[in-house]
Structure 1
Amino acid sequence: MGDWFEKQRRELLQIIEKFTLEDGTHDTQVPGLRLIRTSELSEPVYSVYEPSLCIVAQGSKVVMLGQEVYHYDPSSYLTASAHLPITGQVMEASRETPYLSLQILFDMNQILDIMQASGEAIRAKSEASRGLKVSRMQDTLLDAVLRLVKLIETPQDIPVLAPYVIREIIYRVLQNENNASLKQFAVIGSHAQRIAGVVERLNRDFAQPLRIDELAAEARMSASSLYDYFKEVTGMSPIQFQKHIRLQEARRLIFSRSINAAEAAFQVGYESPSHFSREYARMFGLPPVRDVRRLRSYLVDGITVSE
């Protein structure tokens, strides 16, 4: 990366640092723009990525989707095309040089609008690709992102200028050949768009029994096609995906509401508390009670987690 890129990156991280005085995820007045700061190496953080663009100004992060690992830093960026359960971990951060990043949420209507404005033929295709991508950062994209973040300093300009800059950012992302498949998640009737619909349903109805035939009928696919395309997009089978969502929600319930493990298990759809505890320990490394006790000890010690 050249001098111009480094100058832009430094200006970006200075603004993020200015508006994130404490560690954590900070919403801004710019719709869909979040700023993230972490001053220490994080424990693995389990969350669900929304369709979004994630950019690092300082530090680096690793994200796991299923068994796949995605690493990104200031020279790259990550795009998420669907609501996906991930495990994220900040790999470079300190009090002196905190991890600083941003996330820009987008929706598929914005992508369709840009495709139409570009005169691109909108055709549903029988293809689907992984819902996470890491791409090399480009000067034109960084320039647009910096202009969006700078609007935080002039909030009176946000209603007029932010929609146009966000539109440019999405356009720049779609220009990258690595993100060409992102367009199919926006095209109604495409295999990618239908799988995204199944993903949304599993995120919403995770506590309900998993009925593959019903999901396949809703997606207008055979059960075998649903399985294959779902795994192509998410890196997991539908049942593995549901398990991730259930366990993440159970962990949140136990931690934030102080309910016991058995009650959390029933709320997220498990019929057997012992089965739940085994799967919980397999995913998070410890049984529920010990895991939550460890999480609380990290908070007491001042260690925070981030998106």
Structure 2
Amino acid sequence: MDEKSVKPRGELVQVINQFTKQDGIHDTAIPALRFIRASQITEPIYSVYEPSLCITAQGSKVVMLGSKSYQYDPGSFLTASVHLPITGQVLEASPETPYLSLQLNFDMNQILDVIQASEQTVKAKPESGSGLVISPLNDTLYDAVLRLVKLLETPADIAVLAPYTIREIIYRVLQDEQNASLKQFALIGSHSHRIAKVMERLKSDFALPLPIDELAKEARMSASSLYHYFKEITGMSPNQYQKQIRLQEARRLLLTESIEAADAAFQVGYESPSHFSREYARMFGLPPIKDIQRFRDDYLPR
């Protein structure tokens, strides 16, 4: 796209800045929408992305999924098609020019509804693709997103207008060729939809042993096909995906419930505390107790 056709992003910065006076994640009066603010470059942050649209209004961020990295800034947007354990890091931010972004969550029913209403065709291929996609942010999508966030300035309009504006945003996202695979996740019977169901099972039953043969049977796929498509979408194997979900949940338990590391290990499905400690350190850089202490020293008020 010609750069001259891209509108200034100042209005989006102003609105997000208005509703985020402190660093952190801020829920809004629109349930599916939240804002993120950071006044400095961050350490890698581990989280699970829901199906969503992410736009950076100011600054830049990188997201790691498996071995791949996805960097986006005010000229681009990121879409997550399924629940994905990621590592995110703010790359550009300062107290004077903080990192400002938004995340709009959606579900597959909303996508399917838009596909059916617009009579959009879904190509047989690509049958699947990465669960994360970076695309250029064009004026039509930007205008729809700006109208949505500006509804926060007139709360009485949200209940009536927000659902229609979100529907338009999804329509604009689906028009982008790079997001063609997003349609596949909404279509029952597609490989992408079956993999999404496997992810839901791994996410909900992360503490249970889930052999790939069992998952493949539920997905009505061969084990080799499941492994292939799962890795194509997530950048990792089903076992690695489950491991990341387990370790992120263990870290949450250690931070919020003040339990012993061994108890957290058992709760998330590890039989050996020493095995848990090794894998925890491999992912977060320190053993559980030292990692939690570092987090509290660095981020909690004294």
Higher relative contact order by CA 8 Å / sep ≥ 6: 1 or 2?
A: 1
Shift of 1:4: 5.7
Q: How does 1:18-167 map to 2 (within 5 A)?
A: 18-121=18-121, 127-167=127-167
Deviation for aligned residue 1:301 = 6.3
Contact 1:125–1:184 at 8 Å: present in 2 too? no
**Structure 1 counterpart of 2:164, one-letter code:** Y
Change (3 A) 1:90 1:126: closer
Paired position in structure 1 for 2:217:
217
Deviation at 1:52, TM superposition (A): 0.2
In 2: Cα distance, 1:124 partner to 1:229 partner: 15
Number of residue pairs aligned between Structure 1 and Structure 2: 300
Quote the Cα distance in structure 2 between the aligned partners of 1:117 and 1:49: 27
Structure 1: unaligned runs, 5 residues or longer: 303-307
- 8 A Cα contact 2:6 2:138, kept in partner: no
1:39 and 1:93 in contact (8 A); partners too: yes
**Is this contact kept in 2: 1:125–1:190, CA < 8 A?**
no
> Which residue identity does 1:45 align to in structure 2?
I
Tell me by how many angstroms 1:160 deviates. 1.1
Structure 1 residue 118 displacement after superposition? 1.5
Give the TM-score, by structure 2 length: 0.96
Aligned to 1:2: 4
Q: Aligned partners of 2:164, 2:140: CA distance in 1, in Å?
A: 15
Are 1:286 and 2:271 counterparts? no
**Partner SS, residue 57 of structure 1:** strand
- 1:243-299 Cα distance to aligned partner (Å, 9 max, x none): 111111111111111111111100000000111111111111111111111101111
Would the alpha carbon gap of residues 99 and 206 (structure 1) be closer, same or farther in structure 2, given more than 3 Å must change? Answer: same
Which position in structure 2 is the counterpart of 1:185? 185
2:234 is matched with 234
* RMSD, matched Cα: 1.5
Q: Which amino acid aligns with 1:236?
A: M
Which moves more between the two structures, 220-229 or 122-131?
A: 122-131
- Residue 197 (1) aligns with residue 197 (2): yes
Q: How far apart are the structure 2 equivalents of 1:289 and 1:117?
A: 52
Change (3 A) 1:146 1:126: closer
CA positional deviation for 1:24:
1.0
Q: Are 2:5 and 2:139, in contact at CA under 8 Å, matched by a contact in 1?
A: no
1:305 corresponds to:
none
The question of whether the paired residues in 2 share the 8 Å contact of 1:126 and 1:190 is answered with no
Residue number in structure 1 paired with 2:208: 208
Percentage identity across paired residues of the two chains: 70
Give the C-alpha shift of residue 228 in structure 1: 0.6
Question: 1:210 Cα shift?
Answer: 2.0
Tell me, yes or no, if the aligned pair for 1:38 and 1:100 is still in contact at 8 Å: yes
The alpha-carbon deviation at position 37 of structure 1 amounts to 0.8
**TM-aligned CA deviation for residue 214 of structure 1:** 1.2
User: Deviations along 1:112-144, whole A, 9 cap, x unmatched?
Assistant: 111111123468778211100011111110111
Preserved contact between residue 111 and residue 186 of structure 2 (Cα < 8 Å): yes
SS of residue matched to 1:129: coil
Q: Could you list the runs of 4 or more consecutive aligned residues of structure 1 that deviate by over 3 angstroms after TM superposition?
A: 1-4, 121-126
How big is the shift at 1:150?
A: 0.3
**What is the rounded CA distance, in whole Å, between the counterparts of 1:186 and 1:4 in structure 2?**
30
- Give the Cα–Cα distance (whole angstroms) in 1 for the partners of residues 250 and 14 of structure 2: 37
Find the aligned partners of 2:6 and 2:155 in 1 and give their Cα distance: 26
When the two structures are superposed, what TM-score results if normalisation uses the length of structure 1? 0.95
**Structure 1 residues 123 and 142: CA distance shift in structure 2, 3 A:** closer
Q: Is the 1:78–1:133 Cα contact (8 Å) retained in structure 2?
A: yes
Residue aligned with 1:228, SS: helix
Q: Is the 8 A contact 1:277 1:288 kept in 2?
A: yes
Aligned partners of 1:293, 1:212: CA distance in 2, in Å?
36
Between stretches 114-123 and 163-172, larger displacement belongs to: 114-123
Aligned equivalents of 1:291, 1:135: Cα separation in 2: 35
2:232 and 2:145 mapped to 1: Cα distance?
30
Cα distance in 1 for partners of 2:183, 2:122 equals: 9
**After superposition, where does 1:241-280 map in structure 2 within 5 Å?**
241-280=241-280
User: Which residue identity does 1:96 align to in structure 2?
Assistant: E
CA contact (8 A) 1:16 1:35 kept: yes
